[in-house]
Amino acid sequence: QVQLVESGGGLVQPGGSLRLSCAASGSIFSILTMGWYRQAPGKQRELVAIIPSASDGTPSYGDSVKGRFTISRDGTKNTIDLQMNNLQPEDTAVYYCYVPRRRGRSEPNYWGQGTQVTVSA
């Protein structure tokens, strides 16, 4: 199947920046749709960003991060980055890498272990 490993979380002051990375491995034969969700205590998991597998696809962002976060792909590799700028305390959450189930396959959506991002003075 697919395994996801995130890295790059940490503690940052308001207005600061962090860069998260996620590497996918396993039974992968093409470019994957990949993305990020986040979950803060007491809140539902919410979409942060998605980058499609299609070469002409357009990344999608959650409303709360538009203009501040940028998702990108490392060439043709199934590795993605999330550049987070102007971080605010409301961005504090566990950030999870995400790969949706693939068409024609009996598999679940895939999730990474999560990486903690804390924004505090």
pLDDT digits (tens, 9 = 90+) for 2-30: 999 999 999 999 999 999 999 999 999 88
How far is the first Cα of the chain from the last one, in angstroms, to the nearest whole number? 40
| Mean pLDDT for the stretch of residues 44-62 | 92
- Residue among 14, 11, 6 nearest 48 (CA): 6
Residue 68 has pLDDT above 80, yes or no: yes
Buried b / exposed e over 89-99, threshold 16 CB at 10 Å, is: eebbbbbbbbb
- Quick one: pLDDT at residue 102? 93
Neighbours of 12 (CB within 10 A): 17
Residue 109 has pLDDT above 70, yes or no: yes
- Quick one: pLDDT at residue 114? 98
pLDDT band at 77 (very low <50, low <70, confident <90, very high): confident
Q: By the 8 A CB rule, do 47 and 37 touch?
A: yes
Residue 98 has pLDDT above 70, yes or no: yes
Strand 10-12 relative to strand 115-119, pairing: parallel
| Mean pLDDT for the stretch of residues 41-61 | 92
